[in-house]
Amino acid sequence: MSASEAAQSIRTVTRRGFQRFLIEPPRPPAIARRPSAPWLAVGTVCVGAFMGQLDASIVTLALPTLQRTFHASLGAVTWVGLSYLLVLVAMVTAVGRVADMAGRKLLYTYGFGVFILGSALCGLAPSLAALIGFRVLQAVGAAMLQANSVAIIYLALPRASLGRGIGIQGAAQALGLALGPAAGGLLLAAGGWRLIFLINVPLGLAGLVAGWLLIPRSRHLQQRAPFDWAGLALFIPAVAALLSAVTLGNRAGWASPVIIGLLAGAAVLGTGFVRWERRARAPMLDTSLFRSPAFTSGIASGLLSYLVMFGVLLVAPFYLERALRASPGRAGLTLTVMPVCLAVVAPLAGRLADRHGPRLLTVTGMAIVTASLAGLGLARPGQLTLIAGLAAAGAGLGLFTPPNNASIMAAAPRQQSGMAGGVLNMTRGTGTALGLALTGAAYELGAAPWPGFRNAVLFLACMSAAAAWLASLRGHRPGRG
């Protein structure tokens, strides 16, 4: 064999070996034949859902420690969280589009790998700048996980069980959110800030192995087509400008030239993105999805629900510590009431949605949230009253979220489930940013803890009422939104 033939043979073997990693492997037959196989896939997805929310709440708790460690300003340290949020929201829809062509299982399991690598590098970061850069890599992995999580449930379960599966996933997310502050405090005390990132490595490895073995291969994939790089080039700066504006608006001033410029840039780039996507042959985001009332009302009401949830999580600790004189530990424990109630109610809501459809449950859920927040804003609450209000709000959100998410996915064609899941998760990140920014602005309008809290929760009650109205625009029938 000549040297050129040998080189060609090596290239062929290498190419074939590489291509093997771009093909989704089937589940072992012993697993695929099990009656519980679909629910094993749901359980695997719940690992990523739990980790994503746990990581978000843990990192927020560690910001003061990072500020002291790196002798940095508060503005600089907030980029540890902001960089992650910007990349996640900007990338999750694009990742969903790629998954619809390449395979949801493929991107989900490799997402664990990227998330593990990013987490390990964050834990070893020698400087704040390096930590922020590694958080970007971690966010890419999180986007690969989140864009495909609901799509995998949608494909693994029969339509009659979709609401139940998404309810279980919602419970996993809520538990991660609830346990984050407590777990973060323990990890910070046990091993310092690096441990809050390194803990993701063993958890992520377990999720990666489970995903490779327990998630079924993708079905209803779209034909491969050139990726819409022009759309992505418009979308990422539009999202970055919008989220930067709403995140920095309170600090810089909403009328400042920087914030006005960011909002104007987001509007121009966003308009250009929508126009391009309508003409593109293979768009990153198929705007025809929004012609479905169930999809559009679900996305809009879902965004407002996340705004409300994270707005409450922002403002309640200030009231507990400054008005009720609760210790930080007691305030954190009180705050877990809302996500725990969400986690308890969500699986039940999913079951009910499979039987009765989403409309009544979603409207009722957000009506409960509206009533509970209005009650807290109209009568100055003590700690027990506040706990009751948070519990009711959590139950209402638990009643709303699984039926709403199931309705969104059921309204999208199966071959576009990754794209639909990406849009769904993009609303979570956008709602989070809006909730933190707008609720913070409403709180700061008050000159004292009680007026600030009152302003904030009444604003959130109005957002909840708007979400209930939007939810009422969907259809009645189960499985069709």
Choice between 1 and 59, residue whose per-residue pLDDT is larger: 59
CA–CA distance, 393 with 309 (Å, rounded to integer): 8
Q: What value does the CA radius of gyration of the chain take, rounded to a whole number of Å? A: 22
Q: Where are the alpha helices (DSSP H) in 103-127?
A: 104-123
The pLDDT value recorded for residue 50 is 87
Range scoring the smallest mean pLDDT among 47-56, 354-363, 385-394, 469-478? 469-478
CA-to-CA dists, residue 301 to 70, 340, 415, 455, 456, angstroms: 40, 22, 24, 21, 19
Joined together, the tokens standing for residue 13 give: 């073997």
Question: If you average pLDDT over residues 101-109, what whole number do you get?
Answer: 88
Instruction: Say yes or no to pLDDT of 185 above 80.
Output: no
For 61, residues 6+ apart whose C-beta sits below 8 A from its C-beta are 180, 181, 184, 185, 188
Q: What are phi and psi of 191, to 5 degrees?
A: -145, 10
User: What pLDDT was estimated at residue 234?
Assistant: 92
What is residue 117's predicted lDDT score, i.e. its pLDDT?
Answer: 96
Instruction: Tell me which of 448 and 350 has the higher pLDDT.
Output: 350
The whole-angstrom separation of Cα 59 and Cα 54 is 9
The whole-number pLDDT of residue 86 equals 85
Structural domain boundaries of the chain? 34-215, 228-283, 286-481
The DSSP code for 26 is P
Written as six digits, the tokens of 147 are 């864009």
Percent with pLDDT over 90 in the chain: 35
DSSP code of residue 212: H
Q: Which of 252-261, 307-316, 387-396 has the highest mean pLDDT?
A: 387-396
Q: How far apart are the first and last CA of the chain?
A: 64
Which CATH number does 286-481 carry? 1.20.1250.20
The CA distance from 191 to 213, in Å, is: 33
Q: 409 vs 138, 148, 479, CA distance in Å?
A: 26, 12, 9
| Of the listed ranges 56-70, 296-310, 418-432, 459-473, the one predicted with least confidence | 56-70
Q: pLDDT averaged over the chain?
A: 86
pLDDT tens figures, 140-166: 999 899 888 888 888 888 878 888 888
pLDDT at residue 12 in the model: 53
286-481 has the same fold as 34-215: yes
CA distances from 183 to 56, 58, 329, 388 (A): 12, 7, 12, 24
Choose from 206-215, 223-232, 403-412, 460-469 the range with maximum mean pLDDT: 460-469
pLDDT (mean) for 191-199: 89
What are the structure tokens assigned to 44, written together? 């695997």
User: Which stretch of 295-309, 319-333, 401-415 has the lowest confidence by average pLDDT?
Assistant: 319-333
pLDDT tens sequence across 266-314: 999 999 999 998 988 888 888 888 988 889 999 999 999 999 998 898 8
Rounded average pLDDT over 334-352: 89
> Is the predicted pLDDT of residue 48 greater than 70, yes or no?
yes
User: Is the confidence at residue 233, as pLDDT, over 70?
Assistant: yes
Q: How many Å apart are CA 108 and CA 111, to the nearest integer?
A: 5
Per-residue pLDDT at 480 exceeds 50: no
Give the per-residue pLDDT at 13.
46
**What is the Cα–Cα distance from 332 to 325, expressed in whole angstroms?**
13
Q: What percent of the chain has pLDDT over 70?
A: 94
Determine the pLDDT at residue 479. Answer: 44
Among 155-159, 248-252, 276-280, 422-426, top mean pLDDT goes to 276-280
Distance CA 145, CA 459 (A): 32
What would be the CATH architecture of the domain defined by 34-215?
Answer: Up-down Bundle (1.20)
Could you read off the pLDDT of 3-22 as tens digits, one per residue? 565 555 555 544 554 455 66
Measured in residues, the chain has a length of 481
Nearest CA-CA partner of 112 in 193, 175, 55? 55
Structure tokens at 433: 């940013």
**pTM (predicted TM-score):** 0.83
* pLDDT of 443: 86
Task: Say which DSSP state 103 is in.
Answer: -
